[in-house]
Structure 1
Amino acid sequence: MAIASDHQTQTVDIPLALDGVQLIGGEWVAARSGQTIDVINPANRELLARIPRSDAEDVELAVRAAEQAFPAWRDLDATSRANLLFRWADLVDQHGSDLDQLERQEVGRPSWGPPRMGSQLRFTAGQADKVQGLSLPTHSPDQLGFTLREPYGVVGAIIPWNAPGPMFVNEVAPAIAAGNCMVIKPAEDAPLTPLALAKLALEAGIPPGVINVVTGYGAEAGSAIPEHPRIRRVGFTGSPATGRLVMEACSRNLTPLHLELGGKSPQVVFPDADLDVAVPAMTAGITLNTGQICAAGSRVVVHRSIHAELVDRLAKQMQQVKVGPWHRDVNMGPLINAKQHERVLGYIELGRDAGAEVVTGGGVPQGADFGNGFFVEPTLFNNVSPDMRIAQEEIFGPVLSIIPVDDEDEAVEVANGTDYGLVASVWTQDLGTAVRMSRRLQAGQVGVNSPLGAGVIGGPFGGYKNSGFGRTMGADSVLDWTQVKTVSMRGATVPPQR
């Protein structure tokens, strides 16, 4: 299928792109209603593809397909499941360029280099045959006690649009590695990469019905997943507001749930910080994916002694960020859609109205390259008070707020003073400060001299407070998709010999 880019470039042909279909039971089908949704390129609003506008009826069909596939997939030995995931990973790497271009166009981001989805699949595949139970002590020698870890059965997931490929892998891979069958709904703004990944999974030999991808709006197809009584576990990544709705729906069926929600990540900068390292990293951290990352370090909590210097250096660095469409050699692309564009510009106005100083940015870039795209300038606010909305609420855009503080205790109070607790960063060369702050900050990930948290292989990712609960990507990610059964066994009683 041909995917159109902006007016100034040729059409890019990506064979993996699918149009008008979703995956249910190994078949590429339209929605039962026959309705579709347009997927557009956010750099120019041109049509990329159309996807099925599904609803609860389509989700029911996907659940039935998953139920049919489950017994054989559950009973397949774990090493064989792992080998299929390894084959999937190989295909993902072979098609890495196509997947990268596809996601870049539907999300609007510039190239980040080769995607890491293959390596994440291999990490997860390696856990599939490491799922083990425990031997339990017993009261008598003729008894045996042990635990089994078993899959839930049919499970569901809802993923957002900001990184659709990695999000798809992070939910689907551990779930099916554990022996579950998955029904997943990608975001209607960016469903093409998940569909392409599902296509490669089928080519790898993962049986029909193990992975089912249902497309559509959240209120129609998405809500049907946590509301479905035969979906036994759910994973959701998105906003706290939607996460609460998903949790309410799951509660009615007592469905276990993992939530990965938003963030308002602080970056605490001490006087001894190496600003030559910190400033470029902080700038990249808030402009990567146009700030549409839950872990984005959107608040700079800086010691007053270096406040002025940091403001000046950050402003100069942010002014050097190149903005443009996905195919250009740029650092930052557009926002995902008109709603998000309006939201980010609205928060910029809220900051101005509250008395924060716009040091740089604050508007929409002009020029032929930007056309009808959803672009916004990288924006730096100074002298932000901790109670301002731009310092409390997740903007999900390239907007950075600087909050000066007088000492470590105040820095901790400000850093922890939001409803979120996803990621926090500390910039210091003092080991004692780094240790104290790592313990005191309320966040699921703390990075020392790192803008986006730990950044290690196999680091569990998840949040505190309103940033959600549960963890992905770690060594226990497959175990999280299993349930524990205790078995107590006594041997047959042998009658005494006469």
Structure 2
Amino acid sequence: MSVQIDALTEEYFSSGTVRGLPNKLFIDGNWISAISGEEIETIDPGLGNVFAKVSAAQTEDVELAVNAASKAFKEVWKDFKPSKRGEILAKAADLLEQQSDLFAVVEALDTGKPLAEAQGDVSSSVGALRYYAGCADKIQGDSFPLGDGVFSFSSVEAVGVTAHIIPWNYPLATTIRGVAPALAAGCTAVVKPAEQTPLSALMLAKIFEEAGLPAGVYNVITGTGKNAGSPLVDHPKVQHITFTGSVGTGTLVMQAAARNISSVTLELGGKSPIVALADCDLEKTAEGVLWAIFYNAGQICSAGSRLIVERSIHRKLVEKVVEKTTQLQAGHGLRNTNYGAINSKEQLDKIDSFVQRAKSRGIKCLCGGHPISNEATGKGWFYAPTIMDDVPMGDELVQEEIFGPVLSVQVVDSVEQAGEAANCTDFALAAGVYTQDITHALKLAHEIDSGQVTINDYWAGGIEVPFGGNRKSGIGREKGLEALSNYCTTKSITMSFS
């Protein structure tokens, strides 16, 4: 670890907090307390202790933020030189990289994930800022060949004020994933981070401010979904909503957007399959399965939560995965372990309820299957990495998103059955295929209904690759050049010379 991380870690464990954390709303370039004066607590999942407090915004605070964003869009940002927008985003990327240790420590504390995972989140966020910085001056229209003395062309313009509702599992990365293309396109943003993980969005405000972003272009309102999130997505001045979260809440967001005819990008639930065919590399597949489900303790929308395996290799592959699973070491995120905490007690209880019901139905638990505590402290919210074997297709372990470290194994007898099993849920976010046969790989990639399919490397891809789901997994795509279309509208202009 770096000297700064060591110092921040020592500071945290001796004082119970980190100095200088933001605790107010960021609206129109100013740090202000919520009008009500109310606050919400931020809890370290690794210990179950409160380590910070932030302002709790309500409707009147949301009104201030949206009006500031609307004013900044009309008066400053929509006509800002695109190359200058790119320069600001690039400067923000440099500043974030320079402060990466601080961001990683705070992200680990806020989410409960291991420090190494938090460092990866910060690094990918830096990359996302740089990617969209390079896009800012490359958003352009087209011309249409009408002939007969008529000239027709299109202008690509920013939609206006955008709302960003951020989840608690990847607060920094998800904020930047939406905000960076929005700002590059000329939109302004109001961000509502999850109440469990409010700090990185606020810290990012300091980065943007130092990078020279005009006041009102980026605003952050912390608070609950009911008091801050709902009035934000209901606001008539919000032209686009980017939401990542549950299907139930996503449905409500879409209903709110419909009332104002606002567009939406929804990244919702997942129950993503990993298909392991008989000819796969067992060692590589086992390693891929391990991290597909147990990275961030399974708290990932696109986690590989279902292993669909051909019967001939079922026992050998599952035994390898179980062996690797027993080597995971749970502990506080700042203690350099490789397996972190569950973000909240509520989520921990939800995960355990799924597993206990499955056991009562007679489904075999190969490992885990119960809450655990931090061995060093006896505190925190942890769940043992769990593998449930030979789960029937219609079982809730297969059909419902658990959002935790629970792998459900489905056994099939052919490539055709594997494809059917992969598509057996209402979700269609991600999928992985492990095989040495390129024909089978491409056949399954074509047949599996999902927003993205990876072959022989579950987490392959990056900011350059469009990401999103089909069916109940969402609408629209984030990342890549395609994400820019969320924040743009096309205007056609036609002129006659006759």
The structural deviation recorded for 1:12 is: 7.8
Change (3 A) 1:16 1:279: farther
Partner of 1:480: 486
| Contact 1:131–1:479 (8 Å) recurs in 2 | no
Describe the superposition over 1:110-148 as per-residue Cα deviations: whole angstroms up to 9, x where unpaired: 12245221111010111111111111122422x321100
2:139 counterpart of 1:131: yes
| Contact 1:325–1:370 (8 Å) recurs in 2 | no
Once the two structures are superposed, the pairs formed by residues 100-249 of structure 1 within 5 Å of their partners are 100-110=104-114, 111-112=116-117, 113-114=119-120, 115-141=123-149, 143-249=150-256
The structural deviation recorded for 1:378 is: 0.3
Partner of 1:496: none
The structural deviation recorded for 1:17 is: 2.2
The structural deviation recorded for 1:434 is: 0.7
| Contact 1:67–1:153 (8 Å) recurs in 2 | yes
Once the two structures are superposed, the pairs formed by residues 44-443 of structure 1 within 5 Å of their partners are 44-70=47-73, 71-110=75-114, 111-112=116-117, 113-114=119-120, 115-141=123-149, 143-366=150-373, 368-443=375-450
Q: Distance in 1 between matches of 2:61 and 2:361?
A: 46
Matched residue SS, 1:483? strand
Q: Distance in 1 between matches of 2:136 and 2:72?
A: 18
Q: Distance in 2 between matches of 1:383 and 1:6?
A: 45
Matched residue SS, 2:431? strand
Q: Distance in 2 between matches of 1:445 and 1:34?
A: 44
| Contact 1:5–1:12 (8 Å) recurs in 2 | no
- Whichever of the two has the greater Rg, that structure is 1
Q: Distance in 2 between matches of 1:283 and 1:83?
A: 40
Gaps of 5+ in 1: 494-498
Q: Distance in 2 between matches of 1:297 and 1:212?
A: 34
Q: Distance in 1 between matches of 2:55 and 2:104?
A: 23
Matched residue SS, 1:412? helix
Q: Distance in 1 between matches of 2:468 and 2:28?
A: 31
The structural deviation recorded for 1:220 is: 1.3
| Percent of pairs with identical residues | 38
Q: Distance in 2 between matches of 1:83 and 1:256?
A: 28
Partner of 1:43: 46
Q: Distance in 2 between matches of 1:368 and 1:481?
A: 47
| Contact 2:330–2:374 (8 Å) recurs in 1 | no
Q: Distance in 2 between matches of 1:329 and 1:277?
A: 24
Q: Distance in 2 between matches of 1:400 and 1:451?
A: 15
| Contact 1:88–1:200 (8 Å) recurs in 2 | yes
Change (3 A) 1:240 1:322: same
Describe the superposition over 1:307-328 as per-residue Cα deviations: whole angstroms up to 9, x where unpaired: 1112211111111111111111
Q: Distance in 2 between matches of 1:151 and 1:262?
A: 28
Q: Distance in 2 between matches of 1:478 and 1:465?
A: 22
Q: Distance in 1 between matches of 2:462 and 2:186?
A: 27
2:469 counterpart of 1:466: no
| Contact 1:54–1:220 (8 Å) recurs in 2 | yes
Partner of 1:9: 13
TM-score by length of 2: 0.95
TM-score by length of 1: 0.95
Q: Distance in 2 between matches of 1:285 and 1:331?
A: 14
Describe the superposition over 1:425-478 as per-residue Cα deviations: whole angstroms up to 9, x where unpaired: 0110111111111101111110111123x4245000001111001111111222
| Contact 2:89–2:129 (8 Å) recurs in 1 | yes
| Contact 1:287–1:331 (8 Å) recurs in 2 | no
Matched residue SS, 1:137? strand
Gaps of 5+ in 2: none
Name the count of aligned residue pairs. Answer: 488
2:492 counterpart of 1:489: no
Residue type of the partner of 2:87? N
Matched residue SS, 1:38? strand
Residue type of the partner of 1:136? F
The structural deviation recorded for 1:4 is: 9.2
The structural deviation recorded for 1:298 is: 0.5
RMSD: 1.9
The structural deviation recorded for 1:480 is: 2.3
2:34 counterpart of 1:26: no
Q: Distance in 2 between matches of 1:380 and 1:352?
A: 12
Residue type of the partner of 2:247? P
Q: Distance in 1 between matches of 2:29 and 2:323?
A: 52
Residue type of the partner of 1:124? Y
| Contact 2:17–2:51 (8 Å) recurs in 1 | no
Residue type of the partner of 1:22? L
Larger relative helix fraction: 2
Change (3 A) 1:272 1:370: farther
The structural deviation recorded for 1:368 is: 4.3
Residue type of the partner of 1:455? G
Q: Distance in 1 between matches of 2:390 and 2:12?
A: 41
The structural deviation recorded for 1:9 is: 3.4
Q: Distance in 2 between matches of 1:256 and 1:202?
A: 28
| Contact 1:14–1:98 (8 Å) recurs in 2 | no
The structural deviation recorded for 1:64 is: 1.0
Q: Distance in 1 between matches of 2:72 and 2:436?
A: 54
